[in-house]
Amino acid sequence: MQNNTFSTLFVGQNLIKLKEVDSTNNFLKELVSKSEPLPEGTVIMADNQFAGRGQQNSVWQSQVGKNISTSIYLKPSFLPIDKQFYLNMAVSLAICDTLSYFITTGIKIKWPNDMYHFDKKLGGVLIENSLTGSRIKSSVIGIGLNINQTDFPKEIEHRATSVIQILQKEFQLEVIMQKLFVFMEKYYLILKSGKFSILKNYYLEKLYRLGESAYYKENGEVFEGVINGVDENGRLLVEVAGCHKSFNFKEIEFTHTK
């Protein structure tokens, strides 16, 4: 474990750097289960994450040493289970603000928590909560961001991008991490203070395709709809042919054409 000089109260003050790991989330969860209590805000960072996961176990592909692959340990025991999507909002907004600090236009949150620059993916989040009773005991927040990667596999190059591709400039990962930790702490403290409406309003401001007519897919069928928001449980609210529908994770697929 290493102490660091990040200008935060707790996020990133205990930073564990790894050369290679299957998944920073897996490593952190194992650390939590085996060791003495970890300080809140502990961060695992890896140069190479060879089995990184996204939502529903989709694979996250990343070039060695080029991108941010990190996991943050939080203990939001103050948050009722029925409010856990607000943690997702806080994390998404922290990353969104971090990217927007460097990239001044086009950064949006694609529901529930992917980071987009216009219509291309910049990164994603995987939140794994441990529950006790009606509360969240602890959370492992996995974050993957494309920073200095210039080439992507052919099957995703049309829908993936990176900071270096957008700005034509390489960044030290620690510079972006410093901003990420500051914003993470900011939004986590807003969450802790119970200011849910602030989080939701700002999340909607940043939501990709909000209020726009676009095409989506459900059970293989393409339809046209307009995203109107999210509900308390994090379901996506979409108006389809004059009817209001709600979708859970993976029940709806974003498409770019009919």
What pLDDT does residue 162 have?
97
What pLDDT does residue 50 have?
72
Of the candidates 212, 254, 250, 253, the one whose C-alpha atom is nearest the C-alpha of residue 229 is 212
Buried b (16+ CB within 10 A) or exposed e, 228-255: bbbeeebbbbbeeeeeebbbeeeebebe
How many domains does the chain fold into? 2
Q: Residue 10: give its domain's CATH number.
A: 3.30.930.10
Cα separations in angstroms, 220 against 1, 51, 55, 156, 258: 47, 28, 19, 20, 12
Together in a domain, 187 and 223: no
Together in a domain, 190 and 243: no
What pLDDT does residue 6 have?
77
Together in a domain, 69 and 103: yes
Together in a domain, 129 and 21: yes
Together in a domain, 86 and 164: yes
What pLDDT does residue 1 have?
44
Q: Provide the H-helix boundaries in the chain.
A: 24-34, 85-102, 163-167, 173-192, 196-205
d(CA 209, CA 27): 35
What pLDDT does residue 62 have?
62
What pLDDT does residue 240 have?
97
Together in a domain, 63 and 128: yes
Together in a domain, 176 and 225: no
Residue span of the structural domain in which 29 resides: 2-205
Which structure tokens are listed for 142?
């996995």
Which structure tokens are listed for 72?
């943050």
Of the candidates 189, 199, 202, the one whose C-alpha atom is nearest the C-alpha of residue 41 is 189
Together in a domain, 164 and 236: no
The alpha carbons of the chain give a radius of gyration, in whole angstroms, of 18
How big is the CA angle at 207 (ends 105 and 228), to the nearest 5 degrees?
140
What pLDDT does residue 56 have?
44
What pLDDT does residue 99 have?
98
d(CA 127, CA 15): 19
CB 187 within 8 A of CB 200: no
CB 111 within 8 A of CB 230: yes
Q: Tens of pLDDT along the chain (258 residues)?
A: 454 567 899 999 999 999 999 999 999 999 998 867 899 999 999 988 776 544 444 444 567 789 999 999 999 999 999 999 999 999 999 999 999 999 999 999 999 999 999 999 999 999 999 998 888 999 999 999 999 999 998 888 899 999 999 999 999 999 999 999 999 999 999 999 999 999 999 999 999 999 999 999 999 999 999 999 999 999 999 999 999 999 999 999 999 765
d(CA 99, CA 187): 15
- Number of helical (H) and strand (E) elements in the chain, helices listed first: 5, 13
> Which of these three, 171, 188, 205, is where a domain ends?
205
